[in-house]
Amino acid sequence: MVVDAVEEKREIIGRYRRLLRKAKPVLKDGDAKLIKKAFTLALEAHKNMRRKSGEPFIFHPLSVAEICVEEIGLGTTSIVSALIHDVVEDTDIELEDIERMFGRKIARIVDGLTKIRGVFEYGTSAQAENFRKMLFTLSEDVRVILIKLADRLHNMRTLESMPRQKQLKVASETIYLYAPLAHRLGLNAIKTELEDLYLRFTDAPVYHDIAQKIDESRTSRNKFIKQFIHPIKEELDKLKVDYEIKGRPKSIFSIYNKMRKQNIPFEEVFDLFAIRIIVDTPLEHEKSYCWQVYSIVTDFYTPNPDRLRDWISTPKANGYESLHTTVMAKNGQWVEVQIRTKRMDEIAEKGYAAHWKYKDSAATHESNLEKWLIRVRETLERQDLSALEFVDDFRGNLFNEEVFVFTPKGDLKTLPKGATALDFAFDIHTDVGAKCIGAKVNQRLVPINHVLKNGDQIEILTSAKQKPNEDWLRFVVSPKAKSKIKEVLKEDKKLVAEEGKEILLRKLRHLKLEPNPHVMEQLRAYFNVNTQFELNFRVGKGLIAPADVKRFAENRNQPTSRSEREAPEREREKEKIKPTSDDTLLIGEDMDVVEYKLAKCCTPIPGDEVFGFVTVNEGIKIHRTNCTNAPELLANHGNRVIKAKWTSQHEVAFLTGLKVVGTDRVGLINDVSRIISEELKVNMSSLAFRTDHGIFDGEIMLYVNDTRHLDLLISKLEKVEGVVNVSRFDSRVADSANK
C-alpha cells in the first residue's frame, strides 16, 4: 500500500482542528494547551503504528475524543484521556509518565482504560477481568466508562477491516456488556447504534434486509407522519411555546428483536416508528406543558389505555423522562407518541453527561443514577467474586425495566421488573431479607416469592428462626438479594466443606493412602467433580460416603473416572452426530477437518455462518453466530473461540426445526407432510400440531442438507392453502456450553 505522507499529515492536522472546533464551547483558559500536549504525545507515541484498515493509528484516539465531545458531551479531562488512552497499553510510556505530565486524575482514567497484561489461568476470563478492572475506576470517576463507550463505538464503526473471528468477539462483547451499559447510563443514541452494528456484523443478511425495507417505506412513512401531525400542529401553535415534531423509525435491532420474539415478518411490525413532540419550556412548567400536549394529541386520536407510560412523574432509573402514549390513527394503525421537553430529550440522548449540565435544576433526577452507582460500588467491594461472577452480577444491575413500589410509610422504592417480596426485603436491609418469612402487599398476606406490581405497598414479616436457602435464588431477581443470599450460603457451604475435608483425610489415612495432589486428582476424576472444594463439600453433605472412598481405593488404578468409562459411548455419540461421508466443516486457523459436535441450542446446518467453541470436556462445539448463547460465550471466553466454515456439501442430512402457523382446515396436515416427504423427499424426526378455535401452529423436526434446501422447503410450505407463516426455530434443548 503506497502512503502519501504529506496528504496523511494534512488529514491528521485537519482532524485535530475539527476536534478543537467541536470542543470550543466547553474549553476554559489553558485547556487548548493541555489538549495540544496530549495530541502531541499520542502522535509521537503511535507514529509507526497503523490500524488493520491501513489508516494511521492516531485517527482512532482523535475519533474517540470527538465522540466524547460531540455525542456524549464531555469536557477537557475526557478529551485529554481519550487522546492518550492507548499509549500505556501499546507503547513504552508508563503510567507514572502520564501522572507526571497530566496529573493523577487523568492517570487514573487512563489506567482504568488500560487492559491487564499477563497470562490468565484456564477457566478464568481475560475479558471479564479487564471489564472488572475498568469498573473499579468507575467508582471514582464515571468518565472511564463514558470514554470506554466512545472507544467501543469507534471500534464497532471500523470493525469492517478486522478478521471474522475478531468481529464476532468484539460484536458479542458489545451486545453482552457495552450496549446495556450505554442504556443504563442513559446514552440512548449510542446504545441504539451499538445494537445495530452488532446485528450488522453477526447477521449481515438480516440487517441489510431490514435496512432496505425501512428505506423503501420512507416515502409512505413521511407522508403518513405529515398527515398525522397536521391537526396537532394547529393546536400546538396556540400554546405559544417553541416545539419540534419528528418522526423517527425504530432501530434495525429493535425491529429484528420484535420479529424474532413474536415470530413475525417485517410487514407485521406495526409500530415501525414513533412520533416525538419536544417542547421548550422552563423547568417549573415542564410537567403541565407535557400533559397539555398529551391532551391535544388525544383530542384527535384515541389512546390505548394500556399503553400510557408516565416517566415524568417517576423517571426511569437511568434518568429517562418522557410521556409515552400509543394512539389509533385514522387509517387504523397504532402510533407511539413520545412527549418531552428539550431538557428531557437531551438527557435521553446524551444521558449521564447531560445530567451534569442540568445538575442544579434537576438534582432529584440525577439521584437515580447516583443510586445505581452506589449499587455498582457495593458489587465492586465484594472481593469473593470471580471475574465471571462479577460480570454476571453487574449485568443484573443493567435491567431495562423497573417496578415502582412503596414502603408502609409511603417511601418510593425502585426494583427490577419481576422483583418479589423477598427482593424488597433485601432492598430494605440484609438482615430483614435473611429473616423474611412473608409479606403483606396492600394489606393482603402473600408468600416471599410473590411478584410485585407497580404501586404495591409492602410490609415485610420476619422471624428470628428463618434462614436463607438455595431455593431462594430461583425466584429473586435483584443483584443485591442474589449476592447476599449467595454470601450466606457460601459461608454455610464452607463449614460443610471443612467438615468433609476432615472426614476425607481420616478415611484416606485409614485406607493407608497419602493425600498428595496425585491422589486428590484421581479422587476428583473418579467422582467427576472439578474442584477440591466441591469434593470436600460432597463428602461433608454425605453425597460421597466413606464406602464410596473405599471403593475408589480398591479400583483406583483401573480406568474408573466417568469420562474414561463413558469414552466409548461418547465416541459412538460423536459418530451419530458427525456426518459419515466427506466432512464439510473446516475448523481453526489452518481450516482443518477435526472432531466436533453440533450445539443443540442452535442446531447449525451447512450454509449457516458458524464458529467453534472449545469446551472443557466435550471437545469443539459448533454454534451459529446468531445463536442465543453466542454473545455470552464470545464476550467472556473469546480465547476459546475458533474459526469454523462449511465447504459445499451434499447428501448429508442435518436435524433442524420448522414452526408452521396458519388457519386450520381439513387435510392441511396431510398437504404439509406430503410436500415434505413426497415432493422434497425430506425425512421427518417429529411432527406436532395444535389447533385452537380455527388457528393451528405446528413444530416439525426434519433433516435437511443445507440452508438452500431449507429455504426451498419453506417457500413450498408457505404456498400451502391456510399456511400463514413458516419459520426456522432453534432447538428447545438448552445446550451446556461446558464453560
Query: Given a cut of 60, is residue 221 above it in pLDDT?
Result: yes
Query: Given a cut of 70, is residue 738 above it in pLDDT?
Result: no
Query: Given a cut of 60, is residue 218 above it in pLDDT?
Result: yes
Q: Angle at the Cα of 153 (from 147 to 155), degrees rounded to 5?
A: 105
The residue type of 514 is E
Question: Which is more confident, 608 or 77?
Answer: 77
C-alpha cell at 379: 458489587
> d(Cα 158, Cα 60) in Å, to the nearest integer?
9
Lowest-pLDDT range of 85-89, 350-354, 362-366: 362-366
- Count structural domains, the chain: 4
Cell 438479594, located at residue: 481
Domain-embedded: residue 509 = yes
Domain-embedded: residue 306 = no
Instruction: Identify the bridge partners of residue 690 per DSSP, sorted by sequence position.
Output: 697
What pLDDT is attached to residue 277? 95
> d(Cα 184, Cα 188) in Å, to the nearest integer?
9
What pLDDT is attached to residue 139? 57
Nearest residue to 146 (alpha-carbon basis) of 318, 371, 359, 351: 351
What pLDDT is attached to residue 40? 92
Lowest-pLDDT range of 20-34, 319-333, 612-626: 612-626
Nearest residue to 394 (alpha-carbon basis) of 617, 134, 681: 134
Q: Are 147 and 109 in contact (CB under 8 A)?
A: yes
Query: Given a cut of 50, is residue 365 above it in pLDDT?
Result: no
3-state helix, strand, coil in the chain (%, to 5): 55, 15, 30
Query: Given a cut of 60, is residue 364 above it in pLDDT?
Result: no
**Spacing of C-alpha 566 from chain mean position:** 36
H-type alpha helices, 139-163: 143-157
Q: Are 239 and 292 in contact (CB under 8 A)?
A: yes
Statement to judge: residues 493 and 627 lie in one domain: no
Range among 367-371, 400-404, 730-734 rated most confident: 400-404
Statement to judge: residues 673 and 629 lie in one domain: no
Statement to judge: residues 642 and 669 lie in one domain: no
What pLDDT is attached to residue 716? 86
Range among 273-277, 382-386, 660-664, 695-699 rated most confident: 273-277
What pLDDT is attached to residue 382? 58
Enumerate residues 6+ apart whose C-beta is below 8 A from 277: 232, 236, 243, 244, 245, 293, 297, 337, 338, 339, 340
What pLDDT is attached to residue 488? 85
φ, ψ for residue 204 (rounded to 5)?
-55, -45
Cell 451486545, located at residue: 175
CATH code of the domain covering residue 719: 3.30.70.260
φ, ψ for residue 631 (rounded to 5)?
-55, -45
Domain-embedded: residue 557 = no
Q: How confident is the model at residue 585 (pLDDT cuts 50, 70, 90)?
A: low
Statement to judge: residues 11 and 101 lie in one domain: yes
Statement to judge: residues 113 and 49 lie in one domain: yes
Lowest-pLDDT range of 151-160, 232-241, 361-370, 688-697: 361-370
Query: Given a cut of 80, is residue 458 above it in pLDDT?
Result: yes
Query: Given a cut of 50, is residue 615 above it in pLDDT?
Result: yes
DSSP for 284-347 reads GGHHHHHHHHHHHHHHHSEE-GGG-EETTTS--TT----EEEEEE-TTS-EEEEEEEEHHHHHH
Query: Given a cut of 60, is residue 578 above it in pLDDT?
Result: no
Q: Give me the active site residues, please.
A: 89-90
Lowest-pLDDT range of 112-116, 124-128, 231-235, 301-305: 124-128
Of 171, 194, 209, the residue at which a domain comes to its end is: 209
Q: Are 414 and 313 in contact (CB under 8 A)?
A: no
Q: Are 658 and 727 in contact (CB under 8 A)?
A: yes
Domain-embedded: residue 680 = yes
What pLDDT is attached to residue 587? 64
Statement to judge: residues 501 and 581 lie in one domain: no
- Averaged over 5-21, what is the pLDDT? 90
Instruction: Find the farthest-apart pair of alpha carbons in the chain and give their distance in angstroms, rounded.
Output: 95
What pLDDT is attached to residue 165? 82
φ, ψ for residue 451 (rounded to 5)?
-80, 130
Statement to judge: residues 45 and 133 lie in one domain: yes
Question: Which is more confident, 61 or 187?
Answer: 61
Domain-embedded: residue 73 = yes
Statement to judge: residues 664 and 615 lie in one domain: no
Of 186, 209, 232, the residue at which a domain comes to its end is: 209
Q: How confident is the model at residue 363 (pLDDT cuts 50, 70, 90)?
A: very low
Q: Are 100 and 179 in contact (CB under 8 A)?
A: no
Query: Given a cut of 80, is residue 229 above it in pLDDT?
Result: yes
> d(Cα 411, Cα 236) in Å, to the nearest integer?
37
Strands 620-624 and 597-598: parallel
Question: Using one digit for the tens of pLDDT, what is the confidence trace for 63-100?
Answer: 999 999 888 888 899 999 999 988 888 888 888 989 99
C-alpha cell at 419: 422483583
The residue type of 446 is V
Q: Angle at the Cα of 399 (from 394 to 401), degrees rounded to 5?
A: 170
Query: Given a cut of 60, is residue 639 above it in pLDDT?
Result: yes
Q: Are 705 and 662 in contact (CB under 8 A)?
A: no
Statement to judge: residues 638 and 672 lie in one domain: no
Q: How confident is the model at residue 157 (pLDDT cuts 50, 70, 90)?
A: very high
- Averaged over 578-584, what is the pLDDT? 42
> d(Cα 734, Cα 672) in Å, to the nearest integer?
28
Q: How confident is the model at residue 562 (pLDDT cuts 50, 70, 90)?
A: very low
C-alpha cell at 527: 467422582
What percent of the chain is predicted at pLDDT more than 90? 23
Cell 487548548, located at residue: 32
Question: Using one digit for the tens of pLDDT, what is the confidence trace for 383-436?
Answer: 555 666 666 666 665 645 678 888 888 887 888 888 999 999 999 998 999 999
Domain enclosing residue 572, as ranges: 567-646
Statement to judge: residues 591 and 675 lie in one domain: no
Query: Given a cut of 70, is residue 584 above it in pLDDT?
Result: no
Of 181, 209, 237, the residue at which a domain comes to its end is: 209
Query: Given a cut of 70, is residue 447 above it in pLDDT?
Result: yes
**Spacing of C-alpha 183 from chain mean position:** 11
- Averaged over 725-731, what is the pLDDT? 77
CA atoms within 13 A on the CB side of 5: 2
CA atoms within 13 A on the CB side of 207: 13
Domain-embedded: residue 115 = yes
Which of the 8 DSSP states describes residue 241?
Answer: S
Q: Are 649 and 584 in contact (CB under 8 A)?
A: yes
Statement to judge: residues 203 and 146 lie in one domain: yes
The residue type of 178 is Y
Q: How confident is the model at residue 493 (pLDDT cuts 50, 70, 90)?
A: confident
Query: Given a cut of 70, is residue 574 above it in pLDDT?
Result: no
Lowest-pLDDT range of 13-17, 391-395, 603-607: 391-395
Burial class (CB in 10 A: 0-12, 13-18, 19+), 7: exposed
On whether the pTM is more than 0.85, the answer is no
User: What is the separation, in whole angstroms, between the first and last Cα of the chain?
Assistant: 42
What pLDDT is attached to residue 664? 77
Domain-embedded: residue 55 = yes
Strands 684-692 and 695-704: antiparallel
Statement to judge: residues 80 and 141 lie in one domain: yes
Domain-embedded: residue 281 = no
What pLDDT is attached to residue 572? 42
> d(Cα 643, Cα 641) in Å, to the nearest integer?
7
What pLDDT is attached to residue 726? 86
Query: Given a cut of 80, is residue 319 above it in pLDDT?
Result: no
Which of the 8 DSSP states describes residue 124?
Answer: B
Range among 327-341, 576-590, 617-631 rated most confident: 327-341
DSSP for 511-569 reads TT----HHHHHHHHHHTT-SSHHHHHHHHHHTSS-HHHHHHHHHHTTSS-SHHHHTHHH
* Mean pLDDT for the chain overall: 81
Q: How confident is the model at residue 333 (pLDDT cuts 50, 70, 90)?
A: confident
Nearest residue to 145 (alpha-carbon basis) of 170, 180, 102, 117: 180
C-alpha cell at 664: 386450520
Q: How confident is the model at residue 35 (pLDDT cuts 50, 70, 90)?
A: very high
